[in-house]
A = this chain, B = another copy of it.
Amino acid sequence: MTTTTATGETTTKNLALAIDIGGTKAEAALVDSNGQVVPGSRFRRPTGAGSTSDELAAAVRSVLTDALATRAAGTDLLGVGVGSAGPITVARGLVSPLNLAVWRDFPLRQLVVDSVPDVPVTMRMDGECITLAEHWVGAAVGYDNVMGMIVSTGIGGGLILEGSAIAGPTGNAGHIGHVEVGGFDDPCLCGGIGCVEAIASGPKTVAWANRQGWTGARGEDLAAAYAAGDPIAISAVERSGRAIGQAIASAAALDDLDIVAIGGGFSRVTPDLFRFIRAAIAKRVAFGFVTKVKVVPSALSDAGPLIGSAALIHRAEMIA
């Protein structure tokens, strides 16, 4: 339903319920068809590592119920979009978030269907949702070949290729964090060698700096040390930026990307991180189709994951 205000501005009463499940929190909100979170509709509950499966499920039910309860009369609920940390099994609606060990093949989609029975429910990996959000209202508006990327405690992402969101047969396409990087041999928890997540996530960058003698503990400390000109901090950030750039170059060689939008806490360690990333990509001198890829900071607010979950409903035409 679309209404026009007295001033001629077009607003929408078509809402999606957006749910985002991560390693530290479950969130829900109502999101309109312009990609705006409805004020007052956003709710959050922690999903601590000590939670039981039932406690996690209760947290999800709580936030979605609270968000739905704010829905105004005269609005339409089009559906529910659910983004989850991966891996997932999209066809069966199961999630196994690496950082929520008590959920392995947990039927998250069915939990949501049971809670909101009368509308479509679409579930995808959080990296795909973030990418849809960048494409909808973020840094990748107008591009058909996009990788969204989060650099935080882990490194994840998602893909839009030739204008369509690529989930993959299991829903796990976009795992850029587990693309290997030449010249690095850091062991990865997935079993790989030199995966970019094992090199360049916030905690892994801090750990590398610690091994060189730097004594800080967190990404925020590293950001401060970098800003103060600490040589180990500078080396650590340069090393991680180089690894991220090399991983993006491989992804661009394989998928011929237009643009990569990078968010996540550690992506803001210093604006120079993007300079290091771009310098690594620029080494692929023989391949203009690789060096053409734009690498830009995310243009999403911290509601980006929710907006992306809502895109599963509002922009359903982009979902295979």
Which A residues form the contact surface with B (CB < 8 A)?
A: 87, 98, 144-145, 159, 161-162, 164, 166-186, 189-195, 246-247, 249-251, 253-258, 283-290, 292, 320
When C-beta atoms are compared, the residue in chain B nearest to A195 turns out to be B182
Q: Which residues of B contact A289 (CB under 8 A)?
A: 87, 168, 170, 172, 175
Q: Which residues of B contact A167 (CB under 8 A)?
A: 162, 256
Q: Which residues of B contact A191 (CB under 8 A)?
A: 283-287
Q: Which residues of B contact A284 (CB under 8 A)?
A: 178, 190-192
Measured in the bound complex, the distance between the Cα atoms of B192 and A175 in whole Å is 21
Q: Which residues of B contact A194 (CB under 8 A)?
A: 181-183
The A interface is mostly helix, strand or loop, or mixed, namely loop
Partner of A254, one of B98, B179, B192, B288: B179
Number of copies: 2
Measured CB to CB, the closest approach of chain B to A184, in angstroms, equals 6
When C-beta atoms are compared, the residue in chain B nearest to A86 turns out to be B289
Measured in the bound complex, the distance between the Cα atoms of B257 and A68 in whole Å is 37
Question: Are B287 and A178 within 8 A (Cβ)?
Answer: yes
Measured CB to CB, the closest approach of chain B to A121, in angstroms, equals 20
Task: Name 19 A/B residue pairs within 8 A (Cβ), A-sorted.
Answer: A98-B286, A161-B166, A162-B168, A162-B169, A168-B255, A169-B256, A170-B288, A172-B289, A177-B253, A179-B180, A179-B254, A180-B181, A182-B182, A190-B286, A191-B284, A192-B246, A192-B283, A193-B283, A255-B255
What are the nearest 5 A-B pairs in CB distance? A182-B194, A168-B256, A180-B182, A178-B253, A173-B256
Question: Are A181 and B178 within 8 A (Cβ)?
Answer: no
Q: Which residues of B contact A186 (CB under 8 A)?
A: 182
Measured in the bound complex, the distance between the Cα atoms of B164 and A320 in whole Å is 11
